[in-house]
Chains A and B, each alone.
Chain A
Amino acid sequence: MSEGLTVDCRGMRCPMPVIMLAKRIGEVPVGQVVTVLADDPAAAVDIPAWCRMTGHEYAADLPAYSVRRTA
């Protein structure tokens, strides 16, 4: 079983980090964590908001955004 997934979106502008997260979260089983590396300031708002809208759990803040797949 995978230990989770890290998606490197450094250098990408929003909405790319959210798009990458949405595309790749299906690769981990429910309960596992996806960590997004992003340096665009909008990611700090957009990733927690994306979690709320899509029913995933926002797990941790900077320097990486961690999302537990719950849906």
Chain B
Amino acid sequence: MHLDAASAEQLHPRARETLLAALDSGWADPAALHASGRRARLLLDNAREVVATLLGARPDEVSFAGSGTLATHLGVLGAAQARARVGSTVVHSAVEHSAVLHAAEWLAARGGTSVSVGVDRDARVDVEAFEAAVADDGVALASLQAANHEVATVQPVDAVADACRARGVPLLMDASHAAGRIDLPTGWSLLTAGARSWGGPAGVGVLAVRKGVRWRDPMPADDRGFSDVPGALAAAAALQAVHEERDEVGPRQRALVARIRDRVAATVPDVEVVGDPDRRLPHLVTFSCLYVPGEALVAALDRLGFAVASGSACTASTLEPSHVLAAMGVTTHGNLRVSLTRDTRAEDVERFLDVLPGVVKDLRAEVGM
């Protein structure tokens, strides 16, 4: 039972179909001038147009990159570089995806400054503090995600976008996990996303830079550009499918997540369900169980056939607890993130909810709790 869609999920069936067809029709180099090259170019332009429309951008504002992380790195570094004369400060929420944080750290190690703005207990960024931070001199770029990838809380992007616009500071919005699933805010200057977060291929990221926003490619020149035409088409097909299905899938997932939130709180003692209860992504839910290592919880559930993720330190390669949970001030151990696929059924969720209290109880008994 795959309950870790937010890490990765199987390619959407429509994306798979598109990918297979495009391997035959769009294999050529889209930069080539001959007929098969022109056909690949046309298909790539189609993919760009679909993605642009669904993200609220113009086709000529959208480019593809090799992953969501790479798109975010390019977005942050390229926007900061283009504004180097104004300043070198990157303002971001404390709960951004690590791709944003690592790019900001990379700049900070080279003479820039990274300013992290705190969040409340639900992971919602402090709008006033964010506004104050972008009003300072020397801010090259601000960054705020559309919604949090670990706890599902939707961020007040349009509220901070007004403050950014007033100060002439470009705002980068990481739209991963939100794109296709909820209405996206429109006040961004740069948008990045990974196609895997909407059931597309892992090797496709999107970077959109609004007309008039300055951005300079931080990498050495690339004469060819993105050339995985089948991948781009599959990403576009998946985004379109998720968008078309969302009126049916979204409410169903919201009801299942509400059920998980209620049942976990009612059946597991000493548990905290985290993230905004209402303003949230439809498909993922996070909670922490006291006195249990997250790693043991993931392993025990895996043995019972449930694949879930954890933000606990013992599950990270760095042994550092999730920076998202730490910023929220909620317990980082015993943490589980459950994220639903488009075809997760109510009975699958019920089975998970049936076994969870016993799993937690057994692990607590091992340490005498």
A, B from the same assembly: yes
Q: Is B245 an interface residue (CB 8 A)?
A: no
Inter-subunit contact B332/A42 (CB<8 Å):
yes
> Which residues of chain A have C-beta atoms less than 8 A from B292's C-beta?
15
Inter-subunit contact B272/A15 (CB<8 Å):
no
B150 CB to closest chain A CB (Å) equals 14
Inter-subunit contact A50/B331 (CB<8 Å):
yes
On chain A, the number of residues with a Cβ less than 8 Å from chain B's Cβ atoms is 20
Inter-subunit contact A18/B270 (CB<8 Å):
no
**Complex CA–CA separation, A54 to B292 (angstroms):** 16
A71 CB to closest chain B CB (Å) equals 13
Q: Is A13 an interface residue (CB 8 A)?
A: yes
Q: Is B27 an interface residue (CB 8 A)?
A: no
- Pick from B290, B292, B325 the residue with the most CB of A within 10 Å: B290
Inter-subunit contact B290/A14 (CB<8 Å):
no
Task: Return the contact of A50 from the options B290, B325, B368 (Cβ within 8 A).
Answer: B290
Known: A13-B314, A41-B313. A18 touches B368 (CB 8 A): no
Inter-subunit contact B291/A53 (CB<8 Å):
no
> Which residues of chain B have C-beta atoms less than 8 A from A49's C-beta?
272, 329-332
Q: Is A61 an interface residue (CB 8 A)?
A: no
**Complex CA–CA separation, A42 to B333 (angstroms):** 8
Per-residue contact bits, chain B 265-286, to A (CB 8 Å; 1 contact, 0 not) = 0000010100000000000000
Inter-subunit contact A46/B272 (CB<8 Å):
no
Q: Is A62 an interface residue (CB 8 A)?
A: no
Tell me the dominant secondary structure on chain A's binding face: helix
Per-residue contact bits, chain B 330-369, to A (CB 8 Å; 1 contact, 0 not) = 1111100000000000000000000000000000000111
Closest chain B residue to A46, Cβ basis: B331
Q: Is A30 an interface residue (CB 8 A)?
A: no
Closest chain B residue to A41, Cβ basis: B320
Per-residue contact bits, chain A 15-53, to B (CB 8 Å; 1 contact, 0 not) = 110110011000000000000000011101110111011
Inter-subunit contact A18/B320 (CB<8 Å):
no
> Which residues of chain A have C-beta atoms less than 8 A from B334's C-beta?
15
Task: Return the contact of B313 from the options A14, A18, A48, A53 (Cβ within 8 A).
Answer: A14
> Which residues of chain A have C-beta atoms less than 8 A from B369's C-beta?
19, 22-23
Having A45-B325, A45-B331, one finds 15 other A-B pairs with CB under 8 Å, namely A14-B332, A15-B290, A15-B293, A16-B367, A23-B368, A41-B313, A44-B326, A45-B326, A45-B329, A46-B321, A46-B332, A46-B333, A49-B329, A50-B290, A54-B270
Sorted nearest first, the 5 A-B pairs with minimum C-beta distance are A15-B333, A42-B321, A49-B331, A45-B326, A14-B333
A-B contact pairs, 30 of them (CB 8 A): A13-B313, A13-B314, A13-B319, A14-B293, A14-B312, A14-B313, A15-B291, A15-B292, A16-B367, A18-B291, A18-B331, A18-B333, A19-B367, A19-B369, A22-B369, A41-B313, A41-B320, A42-B312, A42-B332, A45-B326, A45-B330, A46-B321, A46-B333, A48-B329, A49-B331, A49-B332, A50-B290, A50-B331, A53-B272, A53-B331
